Amino acid sequence: MATYQELLAQKQALEAQIEEARASEVASVIEQIRELMLRYELSPEDLAPRRRRGRPTGTVSTSAEKAPLPPKYMDPKTGKTWSGRGRTPAWLGKRPERFLIPQE
């Protein structure tokens, strides 16, 4: 039976052979790909189109499509309103229920 050190040496020899075989085959494969790209007039973008960031097409919504929300709160002194979204205005204070607009 082989010892641990002998097996490690065999493993390193095999890994070196694998790397040599890969390097020699890769060069021929790349040449084949180049020939086919020339023959069929393909560009790198045809093979791997650039991926765009963000939402997929068809799901884009613009702010013009959205209707503004109705106000929920109103400051009686200034007439300013707030819909309940975004940063809370300072005039609401600690008891916002005082400024609620009655819903119809």
52 assigned to some structural domain: no
- CB count within 10 Å of CB 18 equals 10
Is 2 a residue whose pLDDT tops 70? yes
Same-domain pairing of 73 and 102: yes
The string of pLDDT tens digits covering residues 8-26 is 999 999 999 999 999 989 9
With a CB cutoff of 8 Å and minimum separation 6, the contacts of 92 are: 73, 82, 99
- This prediction has a pTM of 0.38
91 assigned to some structural domain: yes
Same-domain pairing of 43 and 73: no
Same-domain pairing of 72 and 41: no
The string of pLDDT tens digits covering residues 52-87 is 777 666 655 665 677 888 899 999 899 999 998 989
Is 50 a residue whose pLDDT tops 80? no
Q: HSE (CB half, 13 Å, CA atoms) of 24? A: 5
Q: Which domain holds residue 92?
A: 68-104
What pLDDT score does 63 carry?
A: 56
DSSP helix/strand/coil, 86:
coil
Is 3 a residue whose pLDDT tops 70? yes
Higher-pLDDT residue of 44 and 61 is: 44
Domain tally for the chain? 2
